[in-house]
Amino acid sequence: MPEKHTATTHLIGLLLGTEDDWPTAFEEILRRLGPVDGPDGARHAFDTERITIEPFSLRDRPRYHLVIDRLAYWYYVPREWLKKVAMMDNVYLLNSPFTFQSMEKHAAYCAMMRLGLKVPETVLVPYKHPVDNARYAYTAARYNQPFDLDAIAERIGYPLFMKPYDGGAWRGVSRIRNPAELHAAYDASGEMLMHLQKAIDYDVFARSLSIGAETMVMRFQPDQPMHHRYAVDHSFLSPQVGEEVVTIGRLVNAFFRWEFNSCETLVTGDQVYPIDYANACPDVALTSLHYYFPWAMKALVKWCVFALVTGRPARLDLDTDRFFAVADEAGMSYQEKLNVYRDLADGYFDAARYHDFWAGQQARLDEVVLDWVAGPDFDQLLVRTVRSVYPAQEHDQFIAHLRGLMDLWVGEETTRLAKA
Ligand SMILES: Nc1ncnc2c1ncn2[C@@H]1O[C@H](COP(=O)(O)OP(=O)(O)OP(=O)(O)O)[C@@H](O)[C@H]1O
Ligand SMILES: [Mg+2]
């Protein structure tokens, strides 16, 4: 066991696309936090590095102990590198490509329906255009059944949504009110494989962001521009509905072994309908999360630190049977199942040990983050980020807007820490 005065150093790799805001925040908070004492009594230090893309031997040993990935969903060199380090080197990944490449929206819908969640009625319809494959014409002529799109839509009922089975960022999503719109959208879908899904007429849209054992539920306004989508609102759900939204987000993540994911739910009265929860490594940009950005950065730091100091093993397999067994329990109510799912999920994320571990160090982290967010370095990051995201004529407006929201956070956080 390492001695107290010699820290074990863990190297965290970041796989990044165009973003510079959250990586800077993450690096800065870890640097300011410095070494921490692990539950083993040993001292642990953390370094971060932005990973570059280069040839790699499949037998190379990586230097990283943990990697946060925001790149591999579209860039296949790092994706294959991630698979290699997951398979060969036990590198801890947020998230493992093995757990999300095969789990697009469609698979995630199936799994959560199987667990009894209130996923709206959803039908997969075959491609509008022929698949680009020499064997298609023969196969389709022999095996494709003709189908009546109108009858399917009638059964689901209007309005409904047509959206790709593997969607993201509203690509190909349309709200459909009648047969004319149905056919127009289907004709336009081309080679995209589409779902038809019953539209939920909702009171509020609750979007949760989960990082490891922690979850933040935010009021989401999907029809607003990006900077207005997350509303700062602390009590928009009843406590019971709020718990259900948290449970659903954690359940999805524990089931798929996603460590960093967002989950969209539509709430009508006390009914919670999950509609989109395969968003591994979601957007955590300062310009979209604003007020919630410090929370997200803390949660990310806390989870990475916890995983590393406790030597949390990376898992490639899905242990679906444990969840399915609960789903199949006859005579158990929806709420009773949710309670068991929550225990399974919290167990998977080692929530009790996580909270115990951080209880002793949370105050220091809170101060580090407050001090940084209230200071000039953060303000420079804010200005730099706005300049890189918005056109010149909008800089002043968005800098003022974001400063206002961050001042609100600093004020509330100062009060909270003073009371603690
Ligand atoms: N069944 C539904 N009932 C009501 N609204 C829906 C439904 N499905 C989708 N929507 C609306 O359409 C939006 C986009 O749908 P969805 O989230 O499934 O697609 P996406 O491409 O993943 O979008 P994003 O990347 O913004 O999450 C949702 O944010 C919601 O406003
Ligand atoms: Mg969505």
Residue-wise pLDDT for 69-88, tens only, equals: 999 989 999 999 999 999 99
Give the burial class of 113: count Cβ atoms within 10 A of its Cβ; 0-12 exposed, 13-18 middle, 19 or more buried.
Answer: middle
* H-state helical runs in 284-333: 286-289, 293-309, 320-327
CA-based nearest residue to 204, from 275, 284, 272: 272
Kindly report whether the global pTM for this prediction surpasses the value 0.85. Answer: yes
SS3 37: strand
Task: Please write the tens of the pLDDT for every residue from 185-210.
Answer: 999 999 999 999 999 999 999 999 99
Overall average pLDDT of the 167-184 stretch: 93
CA 115 to chain centroid, in Å, comes to 20
Distance CA 379, CA 385 (A): 10
What's the gap in Å between 155 CA and the centre of ligand 1? 20
What's the gap in Å between 273 CA and the centre of ligand 2? 13
Does the pLDDT value for residue 227 go beyond 80? yes
Q: Which pLDDT score, from 0 to 100, does residue 5 have?
A: 65
What's the gap in Å between 275 CA and the centre of ligand 1? 7
Ligand 1: residues with CB < 6 A are 120, 161, 163, 167-171, 173, 197-200, 222, 264, 266, 275-276
CB atoms within 10 A of CB 125: 17
Ligand 1: atom nearest CA of 220 is 29
Q: Which pLDDT score, from 0 to 100, does residue 4 have?
A: 52
What's the gap in Å between 298 CA and the centre of ligand 2? 24
Range with the poorest average pLDDT among 313-317, 351-355, 362-366, 410-414? 313-317
> Who's near 137: CB < 8 A, 6+ residues apart?
130
Task: Please write the tens of the pLDDT for every residue from 157-169.
Answer: 999 999 999 888 8
Q: Which pLDDT score, from 0 to 100, does residue 100 have?
A: 74
What crossing angle do the helices spanning 362-373 and 395-419 adopt, rounded to 10°? 150
Our mutation pick for probing the ligand 1 site, out of 109, 121, 161, 166, counting the most ligand atoms within 8 A of Cβ, is 161
Q: Which ligand is nearest to the CA of 267?
A: 1
- Return phi, psi of residue 414, to 5°: -60, -45
CA-based nearest residue to 234, from 416, 60, 400, 53: 416
DSSP symbol at 290: G
Does the pLDDT value for residue 333 go beyond 70? yes
- Return phi, psi of residue 119, to 5°: -70, 130
Range with the poorest average pLDDT among 223-227, 286-290, 307-311? 223-227
Overall average pLDDT of the 51-70 stretch: 97
The residue written with tokens 């509020």 in the block is 204
Overall average pLDDT of the 256-281 stretch: 95
Our mutation pick for probing the ligand 1 site, out of 163, 166, 288, counting the most ligand atoms within 8 A of Cβ, is 163
Does the pLDDT value for residue 1 go beyond 60? no
What's the gap in Å between 39 CA and the centre of ligand 1? 42
With beta carbons less than 8 A apart as the criterion, state whether 279 and 262 touch.
yes
DSSP symbol at 176: E
Task: Please write the tens of the pLDDT for every residue from 298-319.
Answer: 999 999 999 999 999 998 888 8
Confidence of residue 153 (pLDDT cuts 50, 70, 90): very high
Strand order in the sheet with 204-211: 230-231, 214-220, 204-211, 260-268, 271-276
CB atoms within 10 A of CB 4: 10
Does the pLDDT value for residue 99 go beyond 90? no
Distance CA 217, CA 336 (A): 22
Q: Which pLDDT score, from 0 to 100, does residue 174 have?
A: 96
Q: Which pLDDT score, from 0 to 100, does residue 2 have?
A: 46
Q: Which ligand is nearest to the CA of 175?
A: 1
> Who's near 139: CB < 8 A, 6+ residues apart?
none
Distance CA 133, CA 142 (A): 15
Q: Which pLDDT score, from 0 to 100, does residue 170 have?
A: 84
SS3 36: strand
With beta carbons less than 8 A apart as the criterion, state whether 288 and 221 touch.
no
Ligand 1: atom nearest CA of 171 is 21
Radius of gyration of the chain (CA): 23
